[in-house]
Amino acid sequence: METQNENNSRNPAVTPEQIEAMLTRLEDIRRRIAAACEKAGRSTDSVKLMAVTKTVDPVLINAAIDAGIRLLGENRVQEFLSKRESYSPAAEVQFIGRLQTNKIRQIIDKVTLIHAVDSLHLAQAIDREAQKKNLICPVLIEVNIGGELTKGGITPENAAELIKAINELPHLRAEGLMTIPPPVADPIQQEAVFAKMYELRERLREECGCSLDTLSMGMSGDYEAAILHGSTIVRIGSALFGARNYPPKAL
Ligand SMILES: *Cc1c(COP(=O)(O)O)cnc(C)c1O
Protein backbone atom coordinates (compact mmCIF):
# COMPACT_ATOMS: atom_id res chain seq x y z
CA MET A 1 0.00 0.00 0.00
CA GLU A 2 1.17 3.48 -0.77
CA THR A 3 1.10 6.10 1.89
CA GLN A 4 -0.44 9.50 1.28
CA ASN A 5 3.02 10.93 1.33
CA GLU A 6 4.37 8.79 -1.50
CA ASN A 7 1.36 9.60 -3.59
CA ASN A 8 1.91 13.30 -3.22
CA SER A 9 5.58 13.14 -3.99
CA ARG A 10 4.85 11.43 -7.29
CA ASN A 11 3.19 13.27 -10.16
CA PRO A 12 -0.28 13.85 -8.68
CA ALA A 13 -2.13 14.04 -11.96
CA VAL A 14 -1.17 13.96 -15.60
CA THR A 15 -2.54 16.91 -17.56
CA PRO A 16 -3.61 16.84 -21.23
CA GLU A 17 -0.78 19.31 -21.88
CA GLN A 18 1.76 16.85 -20.50
CA ILE A 19 0.39 14.15 -22.77
CA GLU A 20 0.53 16.47 -25.78
CA ALA A 21 4.12 17.40 -24.98
CA MET A 22 5.09 13.73 -24.63
CA LEU A 23 3.48 12.88 -27.99
CA THR A 24 5.39 15.72 -29.65
CA ARG A 25 8.66 14.44 -28.16
CA LEU A 26 7.82 10.91 -29.28
CA GLU A 27 7.35 12.09 -32.88
CA ASP A 28 10.67 13.87 -32.73
CA ILE A 29 12.44 10.80 -31.34
CA ARG A 30 10.93 8.62 -34.06
CA ARG A 31 12.09 11.04 -36.74
CA ARG A 32 15.60 11.06 -35.33
CA ILE A 33 15.73 7.29 -35.06
CA ALA A 34 14.61 6.98 -38.68
CA ALA A 35 17.21 9.52 -39.79
CA ALA A 36 19.99 7.77 -37.86
CA CYS A 37 18.94 4.43 -39.36
CA GLU A 38 19.01 5.88 -42.83
CA LYS A 39 22.44 7.38 -42.24
CA ALA A 40 23.67 3.98 -41.04
CA GLY A 41 22.06 2.15 -43.95
CA ARG A 42 19.79 0.20 -41.59
CA SER A 43 16.07 -0.41 -41.74
CA THR A 44 14.07 1.57 -39.18
CA ASP A 45 12.57 -1.57 -37.69
CA SER A 46 16.03 -2.88 -36.78
CA VAL A 47 15.98 -0.53 -33.76
CA LYS A 48 13.51 -0.90 -30.90
CA LEU A 49 12.50 2.19 -28.98
CA MET A 50 12.24 1.39 -25.28
CA ALA A 51 10.38 3.83 -23.03
CA VAL A 52 12.17 3.97 -19.67
CA THR A 53 9.49 4.44 -17.05
CA LYS A 54 11.18 5.23 -13.73
CA THR A 55 9.26 7.90 -11.78
CA VAL A 56 6.74 8.25 -14.63
CA ASP A 57 3.01 8.14 -13.92
CA PRO A 58 1.27 5.10 -15.49
CA VAL A 59 -1.25 7.42 -17.16
CA LEU A 60 1.55 8.99 -19.17
CA ILE A 61 3.08 5.57 -19.85
CA ASN A 62 -0.24 4.28 -21.18
CA ALA A 63 -0.57 7.34 -23.41
CA ALA A 64 2.80 6.39 -24.90
CA ILE A 65 1.61 2.81 -25.38
CA ASP A 66 -1.53 4.13 -27.09
CA ALA A 67 0.79 6.04 -29.42
CA GLY A 68 2.58 2.82 -30.39
CA ILE A 69 5.27 2.21 -27.75
CA ARG A 70 5.60 -1.56 -27.41
CA LEU A 71 8.56 -1.86 -25.05
CA LEU A 72 8.96 -0.56 -21.49
CA GLY A 73 12.16 -0.54 -19.44
CA GLU A 74 12.01 -0.86 -15.66
CA ASN A 75 14.90 -0.45 -13.30
CA ARG A 76 13.42 -0.63 -9.85
CA VAL A 77 11.73 -3.79 -8.66
CA GLN A 78 9.43 -2.21 -6.08
CA GLU A 79 8.35 0.62 -8.35
CA PHE A 80 7.69 -1.81 -11.19
CA LEU A 81 5.61 -4.12 -9.01
CA SER A 82 3.52 -1.22 -7.71
CA LYS A 83 2.84 0.14 -11.21
CA ARG A 84 2.59 -2.88 -13.48
CA GLU A 85 -1.08 -3.62 -12.86
CA SER A 86 -1.89 -0.18 -14.29
CA TYR A 87 -0.01 -0.72 -17.53
CA SER A 88 -1.77 -1.43 -20.77
CA PRO A 89 -0.92 -5.05 -21.69
CA ALA A 90 0.02 -4.07 -25.25
CA ALA A 91 3.63 -3.41 -24.26
CA GLU A 92 6.23 -5.91 -23.08
CA VAL A 93 8.46 -5.09 -20.15
CA GLN A 94 12.21 -5.61 -19.82
CA PHE A 95 14.30 -5.13 -16.70
CA ILE A 96 17.23 -2.74 -17.16
CA GLY A 97 18.37 -1.96 -13.61
CA ARG A 98 20.77 -3.50 -11.13
CA LEU A 99 19.10 -6.67 -9.97
CA GLN A 100 19.63 -7.97 -6.45
CA THR A 101 19.57 -11.74 -6.28
CA ASN A 102 16.85 -11.76 -3.62
CA LYS A 103 14.49 -9.89 -5.95
CA ILE A 104 14.86 -12.03 -9.07
CA ARG A 105 11.93 -14.21 -8.05
CA GLN A 106 9.58 -11.21 -7.99
CA ILE A 107 10.15 -10.21 -11.60
CA ILE A 108 11.46 -13.17 -13.56
CA ASP A 109 8.13 -14.21 -15.06
CA LYS A 110 6.98 -10.61 -15.58
CA VAL A 111 9.75 -9.41 -17.91
CA THR A 112 10.89 -10.65 -21.32
CA LEU A 113 14.58 -9.74 -21.02
CA ILE A 114 17.01 -8.89 -18.20
CA HIS A 115 19.56 -6.35 -19.45
CA ALA A 116 22.24 -6.00 -16.82
CA VAL A 117 23.84 -9.33 -15.97
CA ASP A 118 27.45 -8.70 -15.05
CA SER A 119 28.53 -11.60 -12.86
CA LEU A 120 28.37 -15.37 -12.78
CA HIS A 121 26.88 -15.12 -9.29
CA LEU A 122 23.90 -13.16 -10.61
CA ALA A 123 23.59 -15.38 -13.69
CA GLN A 124 23.47 -18.52 -11.55
CA ALA A 125 20.84 -16.99 -9.28
CA ILE A 126 18.66 -16.09 -12.29
CA ASP A 127 19.15 -19.59 -13.68
CA ARG A 128 17.92 -21.14 -10.40
CA GLU A 129 14.78 -18.98 -10.33
CA ALA A 130 14.12 -19.62 -14.02
CA GLN A 131 14.34 -23.34 -13.37
CA LYS A 132 11.75 -23.08 -10.57
CA LYS A 133 9.38 -21.32 -12.95
CA ASN A 134 10.27 -23.72 -15.74
CA LEU A 135 11.35 -21.07 -18.20
CA ILE A 136 14.41 -20.00 -20.14
CA CYS A 137 15.36 -16.44 -19.32
CA PRO A 138 16.99 -14.31 -22.02
CA VAL A 139 19.65 -11.97 -20.67
CA LEU A 140 22.12 -9.35 -21.85
CA ILE A 141 25.63 -9.03 -20.49
CA GLU A 142 26.32 -5.56 -19.14
CA VAL A 143 29.75 -4.38 -20.24
CA ASN A 144 31.57 -1.57 -18.47
CA ILE A 145 32.99 -0.17 -21.67
CA GLY A 146 34.20 3.07 -20.16
CA GLY A 147 36.23 1.35 -17.45
CA GLU A 148 34.55 3.39 -14.72
CA LEU A 149 35.29 1.91 -11.33
CA THR A 150 32.06 3.03 -9.74
CA LYS A 151 29.77 1.51 -12.35
CA GLY A 152 28.40 -1.94 -12.86
CA GLY A 153 29.21 -4.13 -15.82
CA ILE A 154 31.89 -6.68 -16.57
CA THR A 155 35.15 -5.59 -18.16
CA PRO A 156 35.47 -6.26 -21.90
CA GLU A 157 38.36 -8.63 -21.08
CA ASN A 158 36.19 -10.83 -18.86
CA ALA A 159 33.05 -10.83 -21.02
CA ALA A 160 33.85 -13.95 -23.05
CA GLU A 161 34.35 -16.09 -19.98
CA LEU A 162 31.03 -14.95 -18.50
CA ILE A 163 29.13 -15.55 -21.74
CA LYS A 164 30.59 -19.04 -22.07
CA ALA A 165 29.59 -19.81 -18.48
CA ILE A 166 26.07 -18.47 -19.10
CA ASN A 167 25.75 -20.63 -22.19
CA GLU A 168 26.34 -23.64 -19.93
CA LEU A 169 23.40 -22.73 -17.70
CA PRO A 170 20.28 -24.60 -18.86
CA HIS A 171 17.73 -21.89 -18.02
CA LEU A 172 19.60 -18.85 -19.27
CA ARG A 173 20.30 -17.60 -22.76
CA ALA A 174 22.76 -14.82 -23.57
CA GLU A 175 21.12 -12.69 -26.26
CA GLY A 176 23.55 -9.82 -26.47
CA LEU A 177 25.28 -6.94 -24.75
CA MET A 178 24.19 -3.84 -22.89
CA THR A 179 26.13 -0.80 -21.77
CA ILE A 180 25.73 2.53 -20.00
CA PRO A 181 28.70 4.51 -21.31
CA PRO A 182 30.28 7.33 -19.34
CA PRO A 183 28.91 10.75 -20.23
CA VAL A 184 31.23 12.49 -22.69
CA ALA A 185 30.84 15.93 -24.18
CA ASP A 186 32.75 15.22 -27.36
CA PRO A 187 30.60 13.50 -30.02
CA ILE A 188 33.62 11.82 -31.62
CA GLN A 189 34.60 10.28 -28.30
CA GLN A 190 30.99 9.26 -27.76
CA GLU A 191 30.87 7.44 -31.07
CA ALA A 192 34.18 5.77 -30.33
CA VAL A 193 32.66 4.14 -27.24
CA PHE A 194 29.75 2.71 -29.20
CA ALA A 195 32.08 1.57 -31.97
CA LYS A 196 34.11 -0.26 -29.33
CA MET A 197 30.97 -2.06 -28.13
CA TYR A 198 30.14 -3.09 -31.68
CA GLU A 199 33.63 -4.47 -32.24
CA LEU A 200 33.53 -6.28 -28.91
CA ARG A 201 30.26 -7.93 -29.88
CA GLU A 202 31.72 -9.05 -33.22
CA ARG A 203 34.72 -10.53 -31.44
CA LEU A 204 32.60 -12.27 -28.77
CA ARG A 205 30.36 -13.77 -31.42
CA GLU A 206 33.29 -15.70 -32.79
CA GLU A 207 34.89 -16.48 -29.49
CA CYS A 208 31.70 -17.72 -27.81
CA GLY A 209 29.94 -19.22 -30.82
CA CYS A 210 26.62 -17.44 -30.25
CA SER A 211 25.02 -14.65 -32.21
CA LEU A 212 24.51 -12.02 -29.48
CA ASP A 213 22.06 -10.21 -31.75
CA THR A 214 20.88 -7.62 -29.26
CA LEU A 215 22.93 -4.50 -28.54
CA SER A 216 21.21 -2.39 -25.89
CA MET A 217 22.88 0.99 -25.97
CA GLY A 218 21.91 4.62 -26.37
CA MET A 219 19.88 6.81 -24.01
CA SER A 220 18.26 10.24 -24.28
CA GLY A 221 21.49 12.10 -24.98
CA ASP A 222 23.26 9.69 -27.29
CA TYR A 223 20.83 7.32 -29.03
CA GLU A 224 21.57 8.54 -32.54
CA ALA A 225 25.28 7.86 -32.12
CA ALA A 226 24.45 4.42 -30.71
CA ILE A 227 22.27 3.61 -33.73
CA LEU A 228 25.12 4.54 -36.07
CA HIS A 229 27.13 1.81 -34.33
CA GLY A 230 24.63 -1.01 -34.36
CA SER A 231 22.36 -0.48 -31.36
CA THR A 232 19.18 -2.58 -31.57
CA ILE A 233 17.48 -1.21 -28.43
CA VAL A 234 17.65 2.44 -27.41
CA ARG A 235 16.53 3.08 -23.82
CA ILE A 236 14.92 6.50 -23.61
CA GLY A 237 13.51 8.15 -20.51
CA SER A 238 13.80 11.91 -20.13
CA ALA A 239 13.80 12.74 -23.86
CA LEU A 240 10.37 11.10 -24.04
CA PHE A 241 8.71 11.72 -20.68
CA GLY A 242 10.49 14.93 -19.67
CA ALA A 243 13.05 15.56 -16.95
CA ARG A 244 12.78 13.37 -13.87
CA ASN A 245 12.25 15.12 -10.56
CA TYR A 246 15.44 13.75 -9.02
CA PRO A 247 18.97 13.22 -10.29
CA PRO A 248 19.33 9.86 -12.06
CA LYS A 249 21.92 8.66 -9.56
CA ALA A 250 20.49 5.16 -9.23
CA LEU A 251 21.61 4.12 -12.68
C1 LIG B 1 17.15 5.82 -16.54
C2 LIG B 1 17.79 4.87 -17.48
C3 LIG B 1 17.79 5.10 -18.86
C4 LIG B 1 17.17 6.33 -19.50
O5 LIG B 1 17.87 7.48 -19.20
P6 LIG B 1 17.54 8.86 -19.98
O7 LIG B 1 18.83 9.56 -20.00
O8 LIG B 1 16.51 9.54 -19.16
O9 LIG B 1 17.04 8.51 -21.31
C10 LIG B 1 18.40 4.16 -19.68
N11 LIG B 1 18.99 3.05 -19.18
C12 LIG B 1 19.01 2.80 -17.85
C13 LIG B 1 19.66 1.56 -17.38
C14 LIG B 1 18.41 3.70 -16.96
O15 LIG B 1 18.43 3.43 -15.66
**Atom 14 of ligand 1, nearest CA residue:** 251
Q: What is the pLDDT of residues 42-72, one digit of tens each?
A: 999 999 999 999 999 999 999 999 999 999 9
Q: How far is the CA of 85 from the centre of ligand 1 (A)?
A: 22
Q: How far is the CA of 132 from the centre of ligand 1 (A)?
A: 30
Residues with CB under 6 A from ligand 1: 52, 54, 75, 96-97, 180, 219-220, 235-239, 248, 251
Q: How far is the CA of 21 from the centre of ligand 1 (A)?
A: 19
Q: What is the pLDDT of residues 169-213, one digit of tens each?
A: 999 999 999 999 988 888 888 999 999 999 999 999 999 999 999
- The whole-angstrom separation of Cα 229 and Cα 177 is 13
Q: What is the pLDDT of residues 205-249, one digit of tens each?
A: 999 999 999 999 999 999 999 999 999 999 999 999 999 875 544
Q: How far is the CA of 152 from the centre of ligand 1 (A)?
A: 14
Closest atom, ligand 1, to C-alpha of 115: 13
Q: Strand 71-74 and strand 92-95: pairing?
A: parallel
Residue 2 predicted with pLDDT over 70: no
pTM for the whole thing? 0.92
Query: Which three-class secondary structure state does DSSP give residue 240?
Result: helix
Cβ-proximal residues to 208 (8 Å cutoff; 6+ apart), any chain:
160, 163, 164, 167, 174
Q: Which 8-state DSSP code applies to residue 90?
A: T
- The whole-angstrom separation of Cα 130 and Cα 215 is 23
Provide the 10 A C-beta neighbour count for residue 232.
18
